[in-house]
Amino acid sequence: MDVYVDKPKCTGCQHCKDVCPVAVFEMRSRKDLAASNADNAPPEMRWDGKPHEDIHAKWANVSDGHKHYADDNDGTSGGLSVGVQGSACILCQACLIECEGECIHIIDDSGNKFVSIYK
């Protein structure tokens, strides 16, 4: 299984990390990720410092306790999610229905693709 996040769409809500039973996701600093480009996502889905316009307009000013678009993660939200351990994914789909940015992509070993759709 390969799991990656379309970074410009990621709000930093941390729902994916919170619901994943097998620790596929880690939250990283937006600034560090832009500088290092250490990311498993395809090039067009890596973080270049520019959030997706429509997703940003939808979530930037939502006050629900999550630090949307904060540079750094504080243990509850903020930063950007990276799929660091896609091989552990059991395709439970929990992250796919919790992802605010609808930006998680999962490709199974047969090449089937799954994309998140916010519930």
103 binds ligand SF4 (CB under 6 A): yes
Q: How many helices (H) and strands (E) does the chain have?
A: 4, 5
- Asked if residue 62 binds ligand SF4 (CB under 6 A), the reply is no
Task: Indicate left, alpha or beta for 23 from its phi (over 0: left) and psi (-120 to 50: alpha).
Answer: left
Our finding on whether 70 is near ligand SF4 (CB under 6 A) is: no
Smallest separation, CB 24 to ligand SF4 (Å):
4
Give the side-chain half-sphere CA count within 13 A for 2.
10
Q: Which of 4, 16, 47, 73 binds ligand SF4 (CB under 6 A)?
A: 16
In this structure, are residues 47 and 38 in contact, taking their beta carbons and an 8 Å threshold? no
Site for ligand SF4, rule CB under 6 A: 3, 5, 10-16, 19-22, 24, 81, 89-95, 98-101, 103-104
